[in-house]
Structure 1
């Protein structure tokens, strides 16, 4: 009987790939901060605050692109609703930033200005943990992850796929957008959250804080890139690609596609949630428009 030789697992990145990775790391952690913080403004090499915010925003979208590549490119699941997960992460961070305003708002109240305007007397229950930065980080991961798990479990267990799955995700996102537009939900209505003052009691508009957010976004993007490469190169990733190419054959080979599809679906949702949380303090606003189906398609 001939011996079956399984393919060996290759390196995470090639030599050239690691070179590009470390160059990107140096640019994010050293070159960009130097060009923004140390180079004189009149110099042609100066990186403006606008450029910092713009590149930071692009890197947030790049994290979403990685998430979409995992579920669509490697698993064959076309989602038109990941804009919702992006916005949920943004809203979790936005709630914390609104609490950080404190009495510096227009109405000098402990409540956010829009709640005072709507004659709210106390914070709604879902704002309970918004005053803690640590709990906010937990919610940024937990809220998109839990919603993705519940939706994905019932959808994948029912073997909904293809265009039908895509339409359902689009409908889910549109329904969430309409819900967040309502003032009584406590998410600021169509105006959303804005006028952020500080994060961790540090003014958010300072040059150093903007660069800190820029570096954190870049490191998160590079970290998710390495994680995605490792995941796709593992046995788990090979099963995902097999599901993409021939899900029925995977089932006949003894694999249940449900846990694989559900896991990558939740991971991609969490990645988008983290991207949204990094996006909000850099652009200074979050509103239900981020949940629009057009954003998910883009």
Structure 2
């Protein structure tokens, strides 16, 4: 009679499915992004303690530029709209804020540049800017309205690609020419300057400069968080679909014009917000800062950082402007060549920008580590097999 087999007394362990290498790489990339984000936030919050007043003001200005870069990334990186005229929206926001600051500095009198130009009475469109709240509202509302109107007229007629980019540059030329020509109302080529206070607070005080810096940090964090939420939602997926195939989106029942007009208006609003922060920290705004060259530089910030990634837009704005400051201070005669070389290198060798290089580097390190762990595990199993064979 055969005896029944004895039950296996060895403990049985539930096998778990190994995590695929691509998923492990994405997890490593996410952890690296979180660590980098926390490090940057900590450095930004601690900056007033180790930077001079001048350097802190520069960094605050660069943070304002990063807000503008997020707006450009939303329309270019995610929607495929290349605007070469965002300097106009930035300048309009700055001018609206500067008009109030100039009136406050004049103490109820006619601004000095108007007196020099022969203007005897405050123009009617300047009068509402005596209110700081109207100025803040107009600084965001005017660029938003102009962007919405321009977007509706162009996108409704299916003007896109290079034609839209050329049209946006034409807007810059018209606006700059108008602001320079109306010297009695806009300050001409000199622009608006000589501000001293806002809501009774002296802008030149160190405490005010620190407060403006932290305001820029806070607003950048809010704009970035809202941008991440938007691009991760259904709205963001529709924007990406418009970028990749607008006609297909239209055939699926969506209205690309409404989405494009809305995101373009939001981008204009962010440019106006950046203009508010810029003029309060820099103390001047002129037509030169809303011309064609600054407008193209704004696009280059996003290209260098990596379009289609909001973090890349922020990093590109900060890195490019820091490099511009460093090269101009260290090499005053040849800094344009260094900066131009940086642009050429990124365009030719880093088509996905610095953010793409960062992501590829993290994935490569994660894959290399997985291969090393796999080789170590295989060597251990082979050694155990050899020892068992010898014992047998």
Query: What is the TM-score when the length of structure 2 is the normalising length?
Result: 0.66
Q: Which stretch shifts more, 49-58 or 261-270?
A: 49-58
1:32 aligned residue: 47
1:168 aligned residue: 167
Query: What is the TM-score when the length of structure 1 is the normalising length?
Result: 0.86
Gaps of at least 5 residues in structure 2 are 1-29, 298-392
Indicate how the Cα distance of structure 1 residues 277 and 22 shifts in structure 2: closer, same or farther if over 3 A, else same.
same
2:233 aligned residue: 234
Deviation at 1:27, TM superposition (A): 4.0
RCO comparison, higher one (Cα < 8 Å, 6+): 1
The number of aligned residues is 269
Deviation at 1:191, TM superposition (A): 0.6
Please give the root-mean-square deviation of Cα atoms over the aligned residues, in Å.
1.7
1:135 aligned residue: 134
Give per-residue Cα distances to partners, 1:160-216, cap 9 Å, x unaligned.
000000000010111101000023561111110011111111111110111111111
Q: How does 1:274-289 map to 2 (within 5 A)?
A: 274-289=273-288
Within 2, Cα distance between the matches of 1:123 and 1:70?
39
Gaps of at least 5 residues in structure 1 are 1-13, 36-45, 104-108
Give per-residue Cα distances to partners, 1:115-139, cap 9 Å, x unaligned.
1112222221221221111111110
2:372 aligned residue: none
Q: Is the 8 A contact 1:198 1:204 kept in 2?
A: yes
> Which structure has more helix as a fraction of its residues?
2
The answer to whether residue 290 in structure 2 is matched with residue 291 in structure 1 is yes
Deviation at 1:19, TM superposition (A): 5.4
Runs of 4+ in 1 over 6 A off after TM superposition: none
Within 2, Cα distance between the matches of 1:207 and 1:16?
35
1:43 aligned residue: none
Deviation at 1:102, TM superposition (A): 2.5
Give per-residue Cα distances to partners, 1:45-82, cap 9 Å, x unaligned.
x4111111110111111111111110000000000010
